[in-house]
Structure 1
Amino acid sequence: MRYAIEKRPSYAVLDVTLERGESIEATPGAMMTRTAGVDNETNVGGNDGLTGMVKRAVSDERGLVDNAFVADADEERVTLVPDHPGDITAVDVSDRGPVRAQSGSLLAWEPAVERSTEVNNRSNLFSSGELTVLGLSGQGLAFVSSYGSMYEVDVTAGDPLVVDEDHLVAWTAGLDMNRRKDGSIKSTVLGGEGFVTEFRGDGHVWLQTRDPLTFAARGTDHEDENDDADGPSVDDFI
C-alpha cells in the first residue's frame, strides 16, 4: 500500500494506492472516489459480526459499520476524506505502540490495526458528550483527521503538557493523564468552566488547532441573529 495526503492542511484528502489483494478500512461515508477495480465490503461490528456490534454498542462505540476497500488488480486507488475541514495525519501504530484517539478523528486504518473502546473515565473526556476514546494497537498505519491543522507535541518526563481537551486528537497510551476543570476555558456546550488534561511521562500528543464546538456555537449565534433580522416567521402567527 502507498498513500499520499493532498490538499492539506485545510481540506486534506487521503489518496491510497493498493496492489492486488491489498485493502484499507475506513469509517462510513469516508470514500470520495475509487477506481473500478476496488471492491467495497461492509462489515457490521468489525470482524466479530453481530457479536462485535453488541459489544461495541454496550461500550458506547458509535462506529458500528466499517467499510473495507479491496483491490482486484494492481495500482488501484481510493480517495478518503473526513466529514469536516482540516488535516489528515498517518500514525504508525507499530512504531508508536498503543495509541488512544478520540472516536471522531479516526478516518482509516490498515487491516492489522486493532481497535477497542476504552471504557473508563477517559470515555468522558470530551465536553461535547458525543466522542469516546478508541484504543489503537497491532501493526500498521492509522489515519486520523483534525479540525484545522494537526499540531504535534512530544511530552517528556521533565516537561508535562496541559491541553484543552476539545483540541485532543490522539496520544500515546503510555502517558499519564490527569483531568481537571480550568477557569480559563469556557465549556461551549455546558457553560461555565471547561476541562483540561495534563499529560506526564514520555510520549506524543496530536492536537487540532481549532475547536469544532466553539465554531459550531458561533455559527448558531450567527443563525439566530439572521433569524431576528428576517422579521417574524410563520411560527409567530400559529
Structure 2
Amino acid sequence: MEYQIRKDPSYAMVEVTLADGEQIETKPGVMMDRTGGIGNESDIGGDAGIAGTVGRMVSDERSLIDNTYYAQADDERVTLVPEHPGDIVALDMGERDELRVQSGSLLAWEPLVERSTEWNNRSNLFSSGELTVLGLSGRGMTFLSSFGSMVKREVTPENSLVVDEDHLVAWTAGMDLSREKDGSLKSTVLGGEGLVTRFNGEGEVWLQTRNPMLFYGAQAHEDDDSSGGIGVDDFL
C-alpha cells in the first residue's frame, strides 16, 4: 500500500494506492472517489461481527458499520476525506506502542490494525457524550483526522501535559491520566468549570487546534434568532 496526504492541514484528504488484493478499512461515509478496479464490502460490527457490535455500542461509529475497499488490480486508488475540515496524520502501528484514540478521529486503517473499545471509565471523556476511547495496536498504517490542524506534544516524567479534553485526538497508551476541574475553561455543556486531562509519564499526545463542541455550538446559536444566549440546547 502507498498513500499521499494532500491539501493539509486545513482540508486534508488521503489518496491510498493499493496493489492487487490489498485492502483498506474505513469508517462509513469517508470515500470521495475510487478507481473502477476498487471493490467495496460493508461489515456490521467489524471483525467480531454481531459480538463486536455489542462490545462497541457506546461508539459514535454510525450504525457500527466498517467499509472495506479492496483492489482487483495493481495501482488502484481510493480517496478518503474526513467529515470535517482539518488535518490527517498517518501512523505506522508496527513501529510504535499501542495508542488510545478518540473514536471520531479514526478515519481508516489496514486490516492487521487491531481495534478495541477501552472500558476504563473514559467513555465520558468528551463533552459530546457520543465519543469513546478506542485502543489501537497490531501492525499496519492507520489514519487519524482532526478538526483543524494536528499538533503533537511530548510528555516526559519531568514535564506533564494538561489538555482541554475536547482537543484530544490520540495519545500513547501507558501514561497516567487524571481529570481535573479548570476554572479557566467554560464547560461546553453545563457552564461553569470545564474539565481537563493531565498526562503524566512518557509518551506522545496528538491534539486538534479547533474545539468541535464550541464550533458547532456557536453555529447553532447563530441559527437560533430567539436565543438570548448560549445554553444547553445549543450543544444537543
The structure-2 alpha-carbon separation of the partners of 1:220 and 1:61, relative to structure 1 and needing over 3 Å to count, comes to closer
Per-residue CA deviation, residues 33-60 of structure 1 (Å, 9 max, x unaligned), is 0100000011111122222222322xx1
On the 8 A contact 2:176/2:200 being kept in 1, the answer is yes
Which residue does 1:62 correspond to in 2? 60
Per-residue CA deviation, residues 166-214 of structure 1 (Å, 9 max, x unaligned), is 0000000021111111110011122111110000111000000000111
SS of equivalent residue, structure 2 residue 33: strand
Deviates more, 1:60-69 or 1:141-150: 60-69
Unaligned runs of at least 5 residues, structure 1: 229-238
On the 8 A contact 1:127/1:190 being kept in 2, the answer is no
Which residue does 2:89 correspond to in 1? 89
Cα shift at 1:61: 2.5
Q: Which has the larger radius of gyration?
A: 1
Which residue does 1:202 correspond to in 2? 202
2:192 and 2:130 map into 1 onto residues whose CA distance is 19
On the 8 A contact 2:35/2:76 being kept in 1, the answer is yes
Residues matched between the structures, number: 225
1:79 aligned to 2:82?
A: no
Cα shift at 1:164: 0.4
Task: Give the TM-score, by structure 1 length.
Answer: 0.92
Given residue 110 of structure 2, which amino acid in structure 1 is its aligned partner? Answer: E
SS of equivalent residue, structure 2 residue 131: coil
1:39 aligned to 2:39?
A: yes
On the 8 A contact 2:59/2:130 being kept in 1, the answer is no
After superposition, residues 216-231 of structure 1 pair within 5 angstroms as 216-225=216-225
Identity %: 62
Bigger fraction of residues in helix: 1
1:56 and 1:169 map into 2 onto residues whose CA distance is 19
Given residue 62 of structure 1, which amino acid in structure 2 is its aligned partner? Answer: D
After superposition, residues 91-130 of structure 1 pair within 5 angstroms as 91-130=91-130
Unaligned runs of at least 5 residues, structure 2: 228-236
